[in-house]
Structure 1
Amino acid sequence: MDSLLYYLTPNEMDPFYLFWAKQLFISVGIIAGFYLLSRLLQRVLAKVGTRLCAYTETDLDDRILEIVSGPVMVLVNCAGLYFAIKRLPLPERIGVIAAGILFVINIAIITTVAFRIVNEMLERFGDRVAGPEMSRQLMPLIEKLCTIFLIITALIITLKHFNYDILSLVTALGVGSLAIGLAAKDTLANMISGFTLMLDRPFRIGDRIQVASQTGDVVDIGLRSTKIKALDNTFLIIPNADLCNSTVINQAFPDVRGKGRINIGIGYDCDPERAKELLVRTAKSAPNVLAEPAPEAYFMNFGDSALNLSLFFWVADYTHLVKATDQINCALVKCFQDNGVNIPYPTRTVIYEKDTDHAPQD
């Protein structure tokens, strides 16, 4: 440009400056026109969009409208700047660089808007769809995955726009994902099992569950493991894959009521009906036993040295089961003693016969 001005005579430079002044004026007019268009579009969105959003009960569309309205103005202004620069008689390389910068800015704005919309939807519907416990564990991971997906998508679109070969990038991502998957297969198995537990929800935080011989209250359901507080105040950290492949007994489902059972034996000389009546009456007198469903007693079988009976009762909360069992057992000892019902010890009768045929002769 400087060399061109050097060879121009003063008479030739006047039309040259007039030409550039005219082009710059037109470009400035284009930028101003697109700015006014963006302001007009913003007002239209504010008025029409607000009226349309007023017909819905949720305020999610209002938040999305608020998120979109600002970036739309920026995109319109960038479009005006692009057309203004494109019509200037600039060297081709400068035009390509300017167009590339504006394209990257537009992709960054669109990616940011998409992320904010996804984040808003996750915050609004996470607790409603997944529940508070699952939302607390799952939503941060989903947000990170969405962020990574949007960034990778924006990167691929940008590279494709500048005619870069994205096949090698996709292949590298695939090979890297395969290597990571093989190296962390146990961790991935536990994470997938964590998703299964959160979606299937066989138990919730606070439920008392039994896994094999271990019983405790669920404290936390993580992506890799589940933490259980045992009845002896110890912590059990069980991998989610083990929980998914084990039989789990949830004592808090379908409700928190608990059913207790007391097995007791009475002597063969005692009346089973009388003993059953005493069992039911004693259970009803216990403070923690529910009146409905009522306690029930059954004659189960004939034992080696006793008639075996079972008492079934319900408590309002499974945490009261041990206390109610203690109350009933203490009351039963006194009740049976007062009513002449004996609880026999295990006995064994040994009959000894003398062998007279092989006895020594005097």
Structure 2
Amino acid sequence: MTFPFLARLPELPELPDHLRQLSILHTRPEDLALAVMVTILATVLMYSARAYVVRRVERLDKRRPSRIDHLATTMLSRTYVVFIVAFALYFGSTFLELTRRQELFVNRIGLAALLLQLAIWGDTGLRAWRDQYRFGGDGGRLASSSVLCFISRLALWVIVTLMLLDNFGINITTLVASLGVGGVAVALATQNILGDLFASLSIMLDKPFEVGDFIIVGEVLGAVEHIGLKTTRVRGLGGEQVVFSNGDLLKSRIHNHKRMQTRRVAFILRIAYGTPEEQLCRIPRLIREIITAKPNVDFERAHFMTWGEWSLDFEVVYHFRSPDYILHMDAQQDIFLEIYRRFEQEGLQFAHPMSIVRLAEQDRATLGQGGRGARPAAPPLH
């Protein structure tokens, strides 16, 4: 291998004939001296570049904190000098006349050093990503992120170990086949647990809900307390704790009320039959005046909707500009009380469930005689 930049280096002085005939590793002394110089120069350059990049990224991270800068700084700080020296020795060995066996050994050592350094960088980056949840206050996702980090690190080191074994000439085909068969057996035996585990990872990555969110799942209403590896725990309205399997939870339809921007409220006003037409026509305008006067409320409509069995039904719809349930109930209470107050002032009556029974003339006459009338004769028997 030749390097153009070496042509500009000053020529080394010629060695005496008795030293020229000496050889180390079947290499002339001047070639060995050149290889040592290249090794030292490569070591200094790589170490200096590492230190410069780390300082530069740390300066940027202090000026503008960023997760990427923090991860890069953490990973580069785990660059070991022993691997830098191994890379430098590999570069220096290219200037030596080595035998095929020696060259193969040097190549394997260089590749092994590269694989180990990449594995250390990856392992450090995964652990730094996990620690962002640990020290960032997101305790609800710490368990899931820890499991994902563990699986990723395990896969990383397994792959690197297999590549190292293959690099040193060990046949790994049988080992990979054995690991595959064993993995299938374990997956079949623990498919329910693995299903919940991957459902937990899906919840962590997709984030359909988080700890503290108020959700509705089927008939269960409550706040999410904990998102674990296998189960998610919800504190119900009655104070009880409801435990869901992560796999079953993702199969259900989830209503997340914490991410609600506004609340749509619809209710029915039932007015008594017999109310004058003029008063019925005033009801929509009256409802509009009451609702538009309230803060954080957008009136939508109020209409005479249908003829009920015992009432005249008006449907009212408005939007409350806050997801807070307590504030919504306070506003609705104020609206209801104001409607009741104004209806009393206007003389409007709310309808009450009632039924009217009409009697025939003969039954009325019988009731008028106090029930003393003759009883009808029984039908003749045959």
Residue number in structure 2 paired with 1:170: 176
Equivalent of residue 260 in structure 1, options 244, 265, 283: 265
Counterpart AA for 1:276: P
| 20, 32, 43: which one aligns with 2:48 | 43
SS in 1 for 2:147: helix
CA RMSD of aligned residues (A): 4.9
1:237-256 to 2 correspondences below 5 Å: 237-253=243-259, 255=261
1:345 is matched with 352
TM-score by length of 2: 0.65
Amino acid in structure 2 at the alignment position of 1:111 = A
State the alpha-carbon separation in 2 of the partners of residues 290 and 215 from structure 1: 28
Provide the secondary structure at the position in 2 that maps to 1:305. coil
Whether the aligned pair in 1 keeps the contact of 2:292 and 2:298 (CA below 8 Å) is no
Which residue pairs with 2:13 in the alignment? none
The answer to whether residue 366 in structure 2 is matched with residue 333 in structure 1 is: no
Q: 1:172 to 1:265 in 2, by over 3 A?
A: same
Query: For the structure 1 residues 240 and 34, does the alpha-carbon distance in structure 2 shift closer, same or farther, using more than 3 Å as the test?
Result: same
Q: Distance in 2 between matches of 1:137 and 1:350?
A: 67
Measured against aligned partners, the alpha-carbon deviations of 1:308-345 in whole angstroms (never above 9, x if no partner) come to 22222332234123333333333433332332222222
- Within a 5 Å distance, the mapping from 1:1-20 to structure 2 comes to none
Q: CA deviation at 1:303?
A: 1.0
1:194-213 alignment to 2 at 5 Å? 194-213=200-219
Equivalent residues of 1:39, 1:73 under 8 A apart = no
Unmatched 5+ residue regions in structure 2?
1-21, 364-372
**1:133-282 maps to which residues of 2 (within 5 A)?**
136=142, 139-253=145-259, 255=261, 257-271=262-276, 272-282=280-290
Q: Using the alignment, how far apart are the partners of 1:71 and 1:207 within structure 2? A: 42
CA contact (8 A) 2:304 2:314 kept: yes
List alignment gaps of at least 5 residues for structure 1. Answer: 1-17, 127-131
* Count, aligned residues: 327
Correspondence 1:111 to 2:116: no
Answer with 295-304 or 230-239: which moved more.
Answer: 230-239
Equivalent residue letter for 2:218 = A
- Alpha-carbon distance in structure 1 between the residues aligned to 2:150 and 2:207: 23
Q: Percent identity?
A: 20
Show the counterpart of 1:75.
Answer: 83
What is the identity, as a one-letter code, of the residue corresponding to 2:186?
I
Contact 1:209–1:217 (8 Å) recurs in 2: yes
Paired with 1:279 and 1:52, the residues of 2 have a C-alpha distance of 62
Q: Which residue of 1 aligns with 2:305?
A: 300
In the alignment, which residue of structure 2 is the partner of 1:14? none
Cα distance between partner residues in 1 of 2:312 and 2:181 = 70
> Matched residue of 1:164: which SS?
coil
Give the SS at the match of 2:299.
coil
**1:8 corresponds to which residue?**
none
Q: Is the contact between residue 31 and residue 77 of structure 1 (CA under 8 Å) also seen in structure 2?
A: no
CA distance in 2, matches of 1:334, 1:223: 54
1:221-269 per-position Cα deviation (integer Å, ceiling 9, x unaligned): 44433333333343333223223222223334451x2222232311011
**Aligned-pair CA distance for 1:70:** 7.1
Q: Is the 8 A contact 1:295 1:314 kept in 2?
A: yes
Distance 1:247 1:158 in 2: 47
Q: d(CA) in 1 for partners of 2:292 and 2:266?
A: 14
Q: Which amino acid aligns with 1:342?
A: Q
